[in-house]
Chain A
Amino acid sequence: MAATGDNRRGTQAAYADPLGEPFLHTRFAPPARPATFLRRDRLVEHLDQALQTPLTMVNGSAGAGKTLLVADWAAGLRRPVAWMTTEAEDDSSGVFWAHLLQALHVTGAPLPDAIGCPADADRVDHGLLARLAAALSEGTRPLLVVLDEFDRVTAPQIAEELEFVLHHADDGMRLVLVTRTEPLLPLHRYRVAGAVTEIRDAELAFTPKEAAALLDLHGLHLPAEATRALVTRTRGWAAGLRLCALAAQETADPQTYLKEFEAARSTVADYLLAEVLKRQPAPTQDLLLRVSVLERFRPELADALTGRSGSEPVLAGLHRQNAFVEDLGHPWYRLHPLFAEILRAHLRERSPELEPELHRRAARWLRVSGALPETLAHGAAAGDWDLTAGALVDDLAIGQLFTGLRRDDLDELFRSMGPEATSAAADLVRAARDLCRCELDHGLAHLRRAEQTLADAARDGRMDAAGRLSCALLDVLAARLSGSPGGAEQAARTAEELRGEVPEHVLRKHPELIALLLTHLGSTRLWAGRLDEARAVLSAVVDGPGAPSTVLLREESLAHLALIDYLNGWPGRAERKARAALGDGERGLLPRPCGSGLGHTVLAAVAVDRDELAQAQALLDEAAETCPAGRDPVATAGRALASARLLLARGEPQAAATAAELSVAAEVACPWAQAYTALTASAAHLAEGRPDSASKVLDDIPCDGQPYAAELAWAHLAAGHRDAALHVLEALHGHNGTGPAIAVRTALVRARAAHEAGDTDTARRLLARALLQARRDQLRRPFLDAGPQVRRLLETPPLDELAAGWLILPPGGQGTPGDVSQQVPPLVVEELSGRERDVLLRLSRMMSTEEIAADLILSVNTVKTHLKSVYRKLAVNRRSDAVRRARELHLL
């Protein structure tokens, strides 16, 4: 056993952990069986059935011997087994699946990278589970997955997801749950189908014969009668028998001793553990009590807690005796969970004041050895917040308060931080938590205090590069939230200088730090209207390392890039990027306090340009729902822009002008946001018959080659200032990088100007070009806004042909062409097949073809075939039209 065990551990130790937790591998290894372990053939034989049934449940009380039974059985199988010891943090769906995927990788299961990784702690993408199930179902033989201590998972959601994967993995997975409580899976269904192997307390209980063999292994030889009595007294409970053996071993007359125990009628584990404990030498007792505060430990850590050296042989000895200590693979140990609980009760009684001190010592030791999550947990348990915050900041992990799987846990952990912590790190953590909730004033106050503390330390010659880099990151975020481009650039330069002063490997461990910095910098530059410079840093985030901790940042950066494309007049590109922002990693929007909802906003703005107004409204509603009234300037400005345009298109200019007013306070105004606010106000004035006011609000808008110049020109023209309009266009001329939406608007201005000047041929020529440019992106709105004269031109040959089908209605039609109900005459719809309905339903949830394929366990090509026939039957040729048409026909 030793040889296989060591090999196994070798490969696991080498595996890097995506969550940055170096000791995670101890959770993916079954504990080693002690020399006194007794194999019981009847149980092993029963467990062999686990290879035939999808689900196996080993369900018994603490100390019933479940874990060792399954570990021993799995080791004898001579095939890879994915093992995961569940911990409390796994009760969040995202964390659970990230760890389970890790456990599968550790076994070398051939899983494609495309499965992805959860980006958020408390949820997992359904597509990810579908891809995982599909990958498992393709295995040559079922993969055995053991989840130990599954009772720690209480979330019904995780049970449901596990059931989904197990079901869809078909024959590719055998799940073994080792648990104290009955899991929330629909066990009755498995029982009816004969698809579950169950081993419960009654079966786990030792028979007198087995008990005799176990006691023999412990060097205790009893007459059959005495053994039977002991089994009755302990109800065959493994932990009870073990403790009996250990307690009796040390006595002169074991039989008499055990008789006394039988008569005592005390609770078994509690009584026996106290007996065994008091027979240990004093230093060993002390060691056991002290390590009871730890989830797992190695001898050096135990030494740190006792303040003495020499724990190693004691621990090895205890493991050999099968007394309390389990071996997780050299050199890690843990206490048997049952004994740990009871020992903690003893610790509290004997030295109640010691517990915080033990946590503090553990935190100090772990901080040096680099185990951040455990350092933080123990530091918090000790109430030593300077230490805890210091560990977080030193590790450059402050970004984890904003993004990544640990975000919620960390937020919760630091929630109890009291005012007594005064270190710079503590203030940085406070500032980060405030800024995360967009509480700018509180955040800035804490940030200034941290800066002061750091500066004081620097004067005394203590340079804290990690602290200052974290501070620079928060400065950039604060600058973003307060719309202060100068502040952001300054802080970003400071960060750049400090990057060289922190250890490269620590920085690499936390890619989210730089990604956060660049995202915030990009957002601030976008606010300042420096679109190209914004794009440079945002693209760097999107192309950066694809760690789980950066998924949300890449999405946020993509949404910002989409907005830049939109402002530059590239609706097609903007749409693709916004969709990618919503679909990368996790489908749907993740509720984030800052800056989110932007992807939906951009899609809504594009929809307005296409005159798909209902769609635009739905998108804006969803953005408002997932991210209510943030104070992120760019997101707010984007939303104001899209809402105002939608209201203008609906013919509600007053409401539009109100919507366009920015509700966010910023140090520096945003040029494009200001321009669009003025444009909306101008349109509102014009609509109410005040051309002079309409013209006046445009006066102060600078237009040196800004992409919005085309719309500015249009507004001037509409207000009756043809010269001003053409002048503005001159400034735009030769400006690179603008897309079809700008070109179309420019051409419309020139066409209308030419038409007004009586040059109808030039107007026609310009309009023809505009139609060709607009058709691909279905840009209907600019033409619908272009006024009756232009529209009349569009309805006459040869322009009507260019406009036919997408812009101009077939004869007799009314309303706008984007409105499908009026564009397509009611048809008798051919009945959709079940699969086609499935596809259509997912289409309506904005799933991509790939996601639909994964969800339905179909190939991408099959889904495309279904899509084509759905389109044909509904007489549409676009996804959004198909969904709308289906809704009208009540097919959804």
Chain B
Amino acid sequence: MRYEIRVDGRMSETLAKAFPELDHVLMSGQTLLFGPVVDEAQLYGLLARFRSLGLRVVEMRQLPET
């Protein structure tokens, strides 16, 4: 599974390193993180990590397999 997760605000490079498994791009006022997610457990783990770092998830979607 591949996911893309949109977070409110532009993340610093430092904080982005807290998600080494995901790539990221900065957009206008948002950060888009994307990459492979092994299973649901990892997905919920990621969400918990966003929350514990004070990040606001505004959108999350599964990407079609290529």
CA distance A265 to B9 in the complex (A): 5
Q: Is the CB of A62 within 8 A of B14?
A: no
| B15 and chain A: residue at smallest CB distance | A270
Which of A61, A151, A237, A266 is within 8 Å of B11, CB to CB? A266
Q: A266-B11, A267-B12, A349-B14 are in contact. Are A342 and B51 (CB under 8 A)?
A: no
Q: A61-B54, A338-B52 are in contact. Are A267 and B7 (CB under 8 A)?
A: yes
Q: Which residues of B contact A620 (CB under 8 A)?
A: none
Q: Is the CB of B51 within 8 A of A62?
A: yes
Q: Is the CB of B53 within 8 A of A269?
A: yes
CA distance A348 to B52 in the complex (A): 17
CA distance A380 to B12 in the complex (A): 31
Chain B proximity mask over A169-192: 1 for CB below 8 Å, otherwise 0: 000000000001100000000000
Which of B10, B17, B28 is within 8 Å of A267, CB to CB? B10
Chain B proximity mask over A256-284: 1 for CB below 8 Å, otherwise 0: 00000000111111110010000000000
Q: Is the CB of A267 within 8 A of B51?
A: no
Which of A63, A181, A274 is within 8 Å of B54, CB to CB? A63
CB distance from B46 to the nearest CB of A (A): 14
CA distance A892 to B51 in the complex (A): 48
Q: Among B8, B29, B55, find the residue whose CB has the most chain A CB atoms closer than 10 A.
A: B55
Q: Is the CB of B12 within 8 A of A266?
A: yes
Q: Among A267, A271, A342, find the residue whose CB has the most chain B CB atoms closer than 10 A.
A: A267
B60: Cβ under 8 A from any A Cβ: no
* B:2-45 near A, CB below 8 Å: 7-15, 17-18, 28-29, 31
A142: Cβ under 8 A from any B Cβ: no
Q: Is the CB of B28 within 8 A of A265?
A: yes
Q: A265-B29, A267-B7, A267-B10 are in contact. Are A239 and B17 (CB under 8 A)?
A: no
CA distance A151 to B18 in the complex (A): 20
CA distance A181 to B11 in the complex (A): 23
CB distance from A66 to the nearest CB of B (A): 13
A341: Cβ under 8 A from any B Cβ: yes
Q: Is the CB of B11 within 8 A of A267?
A: yes
A573: Cβ under 8 A from any B Cβ: no
Q: Is the CB of A268 within 8 A of B9?
A: yes
| B44 and chain A: residue at smallest CB distance | A154
Q: Which residues of B contact A202 (CB under 8 A)?
A: none
Q: Which residues of B contact A267 (CB under 8 A)?
A: 7-12, 15, 31, 54-55
A588: Cβ under 8 A from any B Cβ: no
Q: Which residues of A contact B7 (CB under 8 A)?
A: 267
CA distance A237 to B9 in the complex (A): 14
CA distance A344 to B14 in the complex (A): 10
Q: Is the CB of A341 within 8 A of B12?
A: no
Chain A proximity mask over B44-66: 1 for CB below 8 Å, otherwise 0: 00001001111110000000000
Total contacting residues, chain B, CB less than 8 A: 21
Q: Among A337, A338, A342, find the residue whose CB has the most chain B CB atoms closer than 10 A.
A: A342
Q: Which residues of B contact A229 (CB under 8 A)?
A: none
Q: Is the CB of A274 within 8 A of B9?
A: no
Chain B proximity mask over A785-814: 1 for CB below 8 Å, otherwise 0: 000000000000000000000000000000
Interface footprint category on A:
20 to 34
Q: Which residues of B contact A264 (CB under 8 A)?
A: 10
CA distance A265 to B7 in the complex (A): 12
Q: Which residues of A contact B9 (CB under 8 A)?
A: 265-268, 270-271
CB distance from A103 to the nearest CB of B (A): 24
Q: Which residues of A contact B31 (CB under 8 A)?
A: 267
Q: Is the CB of A348 within 8 A of B17?
A: yes
CB distance from A274 to the nearest CB of B (A): 6
A43: Cβ under 8 A from any B Cβ: no
Q: A267-B7, A345-B17, A349-B17 are in contact. Are A274 and B52 (CB under 8 A)?
A: no
A346: Cβ under 8 A from any B Cβ: yes
Q: A345-B17, A345-B18, A349-B17 are in contact. Are A268 and B54 (CB under 8 A)?
A: yes
Q: Is the CB of A265 within 8 A of B10?
A: yes
CA distance A269 to B15 in the complex (A): 10
Q: Is the CB of A270 within 8 A of B52?
A: no
Q: Is the CB of B17 within 8 A of A342?
A: no
CA distance A338 to B13 in the complex (A): 18
CB distance from A436 to the nearest CB of B (A): 28
Q: A345-B18, A349-B17 are in contact. Are A269 and B54 (CB under 8 A)?
A: yes
Q: Which residues of A contact B28 (CB under 8 A)?
A: 265
Which of A62, A266, A268, A346 is within 8 Å of B52, CB to CB? A62
Q: Is the CB of A271 within 8 A of B29?
A: no
* A:128-163 near B, CB below 8 Å: 151
Which of B14, B29, B48, B51 is within 8 Å of A270, CB to CB? B14
CA distance A569 to B48 in the complex (A): 61
CB distance from A776 to the nearest CB of B (A): 58
Q: A265-B28, A345-B18, A349-B17 are in contact. Are A239 and B54 (CB under 8 A)?
A: yes
Q: Is the CB of A342 within 8 A of B29?
A: no
Q: Which residues of A contact B54 (CB under 8 A)?
A: 61-63, 237, 239, 267-270, 338, 341-342
CB distance from A347 to the nearest CB of B (A): 10
Q: Which residues of A contact B11 (CB under 8 A)?
A: 266-267, 270
CA distance A270 to B56 in the complex (A): 12
Q: A338-B52, A345-B53 are in contact. Are A270 and B17 (CB under 8 A)?
A: no
Q: Which residues of B contact A348 (CB under 8 A)?
A: 17-18
CA distance A344 to B17 in the complex (A): 11
CB distance from A230 to the nearest CB of B (A): 15
| A348 and chain B: residue at smallest CB distance | B17
10 nearest A-B pairs in the assembled complex, by CB-CB distance: A267-B9, A269-B54, A265-B29, A345-B18, A270-B15, A266-B10, A349-B14, A341-B52, A341-B53, A267-B11
B contact residues vs A (CB 8 Å cutoff): 7-15, 17-18, 28-29, 31, 48, 51-56
22 A-B contact pairs sorted by A residue (CB < 8 Å): A61-B51, A61-B56, A62-B52, A62-B54, A63-B54, A151-B48, A180-B51, A239-B54, A265-B10, A266-B10, A267-B11, A269-B53, A270-B12, A270-B55, A274-B12, A338-B53, A338-B54, A341-B54, A345-B14, A345-B18, A345-B53, A348-B17
Instruction: Given contact pairs A181-B51, A267-B31, A270-B12, enumerate 11 new A-B contacts (beta carbons under 8 Å).
Output: A62-B54, A151-B48, A181-B48, A239-B54, A265-B29, A267-B12, A267-B55, A269-B54, A270-B55, A338-B52, A341-B54
